A and B are shown apart, each in its own frame.
Chain A
Amino acid sequence: MSDSLRPTSSDDNQGAQPLYVPIKRRSFFVYAGATAGATALLLAGCNDDDSNVDANTTVDVGAGDVGVLNYAYALEQLEAAFYAEVLKGGYFTGLAPAAAERQIFADIALHEQIHADFFKTALAGNAIKALTPNFSAINFGDRTSVLTSARAFEDLGVAAYNGAGRFITDPKFLVVAGKIVSVEARHAAIIRDLITPNSFVANDVVDFSTTSATARQERSKLPAEVLTTANTFLAEGSKVSAKSLV
């Protein structure tokens, strides 16, 4: 690696700071440029995500289509993690082998894992990190706690996709989001019916006024509102922001 990589900016003095504090992008590349074993240092320096970031900062999804896809990836990660916990919890393991609810949760868990893996694969190097959930508010041994949490996640997911579609610029990404949101809506419907029969499109998900901008449609939510809820289920250091999606 040649000396031409060495930036000439005043950032140079930051090169003296130790690696365990958050470092600016540019100075990160100062390290890279100034060191013969740059690759080794990069890998060593980045081995542990958390050593490089302030635990109080958020994971921002970024801007543009990548931002929307990362936003979706964040929500799918959260859902996938939730259902993975459901499958390990006492409520699910206590269900009879042939119980309909067992099959429903087993199926949904796989759908959400596929969604999360799909976004991770599609985003490749542009993907946000793997998020650490915090489900301490959920009792996975209790049917009501699991079902109401599942309902909250699914309704939130549908509202999130519906509210984020307008931020997508590439038509093919919009179609992908459309393909997923209707499956989330199917999940939401069956979960709601498990809680209360015929609540699959109750008035708390469809605005039945005739005089509002969302009249007679499913309610949707913008990223900031969605993430306020989602972040209550994410650990410190894994909380997500979408500063460019407004």
Chain B
Amino acid sequence: MNFFNIINKLSEVDPDVLGRLDTRRSVFSSLNTVSKRAALASAPAFLAAFFSKAYAGTSAGDPKEVFNYALTLEYLEADFYNKMIASAQFATASAVDQASIRQISKHETAHVNLLKTVISGIGGTPVAPVTFKAATFATLTTFAKQLEVAQLLEDTGVRAYKGRAGDLQGIADVTITGVGTINPLQAALQIHSVEARHAARIRTMRGQTSWINGDGDLDNQEHYKGAIPESTITQSGVNLTTGLGTTYTAKDAQASFDEILTVAEVLAPSRAGGLVGA
């Protein structure tokens, strides 16, 4: 069966089939190259995939559980920064660095309060606070050592939020008294990007690149590894170093995409789990 015939038949039952497949203009531009024409020829298969996606539902989890997981991590971060600001080492830091930590601390505390409100607002019970293990904190005898842990916490936080986004997909908006109507996924994404900004700031305070390119002094820590390590250079089956037409270095390929951590990975003793305690 000819590809034009397929499109024609589809357009008889669905006049806008090409609109669904693509925009009109890009259909035209697609036809410029043989390879793109081949891609368009596979459009009916794509359409089938599109419908199956549209009706397959989502992998939505329980938002109360997801937000309590986030709250646990925010409690850990908030307590860490409180301890840091109260420490003698903090007083040795520059005014700019102190201001950075205070700003980040303010956000982490705000995230705790927001998540508690959201969890209560959707009918859940916020988990009990956790604290950063005092014995571990005591080993961070300099501001620089405190910043190392801050970096690990922030980069882990970014990976943790990213790992749960799929569990919030398709969950309906919720209306919370005093706050308004929020979309659970969007709220989580909006905290996620703030964590990434924190991570970037802490990394630059430490003289590291703001992004994770494999050259960092902590890149061998477990926080950057896992089933899908930060060193990953293949995304959606595409090798970013060799599969994009232009050749890129592995360093730039890994830096341009951050990676997820699963709940089990985040809570492992080698990562955030090992920092929780009395």
Contacts and interface: CB of A to CB of B under 8 A. Distances in A.
Interface of A: 1-2, 4-5, 7, 25-26, 28-29, 32-33, 38, 42-43, 45-47, 49, 52-53, 57, 59-66, 70, 104, 107, 110-111, 113-115, 117-118, 120-122, 124-129, 158, 161-163, 165-166, 168-172, 174-176, 178-190, 193, 197-198, 200-201, 205-206, 208, 210-220
Q: Which 7 A-B pairs have CB atoms at the shortest separation, nearest pair first?
A: A125-B39, A217-B190, A185-B196, A213-B180, A189-B200, A182-B196, A117-B244
A190 B4 contact: no
A192 B166 CA distance: 30
A160 to B, nearest CB: 11
Contacts of A113: 246, 248
B245 to A, nearest CB: 6
B197 to A, nearest CB: 4
Contacts of A28: 28
Contact of A189 (B22, B201, B245, B258): B201
Interface stretch (B78-86, B107-115, B125-133, B138-146): B107-115
Contacts of A168: 169
Contacts of A114: 240, 244, 248, 252-253, 256
A212 B195 CA distance: 20
A216 B28 contact: no
Report which residue of A65, A125, A213 has the largest number of chain B beta carbons within 10 angstroms of its beta carbon: A125
Interface string B174-190: 00001111110111011
8 contacts: A161-B189, A182-B162, A186-B210, A200-B197, A211-B180, A214-B182, A218-B191, A218-B194
Contacts of B4: 1, 5, 29, 32-33, 38
Contacts of B92: none
Contacts, number: 279
B8 A170 contact: no
Given A53-B25, A163-B186, A216-B113, A189 B197 contact: yes
Interface in B250-274: 252-253, 255-260
A106 B198 CA distance: 22
Nearest to B184: A166
Nearest to A116: B244
Contact of A46 (B28, B200, B204, B253): B28
Contacts of A174: 165-166, 169, 185
A158 B193 contact: yes
Contacts of B194: 185, 201, 206, 217-218
Nearest to B181: A213
A182 B53 contact: no
B190 A214 contact: yes
- Majority DSSP secondary structure for residues of B touching A: helix
B189 A183 contact: no
A19 B216 CA distance: 56
A218 B190 CA distance: 5
B162 to A, nearest CB: 4
Given A107-B252, A179-B259, A201-B197, A46 B32 contact: yes
Contacts of A62: 19-20, 22-23
A236 B121 CA distance: 47
Given A33-B8, A178-B260, A182-B162, A66 B252 contact: no
B136 interface: no
Given A129-B26, A185-B193, A186-B199, A166 B238 contact: no
B11 interface: yes
A183 B169 contact: no
B263 to A, nearest CB: 15
A60 B8 CA distance: 22
Contacts of B66: none
Contact of B114 (A127, A180, A215): A215
A4 B1 CA distance: 11
Which among A1, A52, A186 has the greatest number of chain B C-beta atoms within 10 A? A186
B54 interface: yes
B5 interface: yes
A123 to B, nearest CB: 9
Contacts of B220: none
Given A121-B238, A183-B211, A198-B103, 10 more contacts: A125-B38, A128-B25, A169-B54, A171-B58, A178-B258, A179-B235, A179-B257, A208-B110, A210-B113, A218-B193
Interface string B18-55: 11111111111111100011111011001000100110
A189 B113 CA distance: 24
Contact of A216 (B30, B107, B181): B107
A208 to B, nearest CB: 7
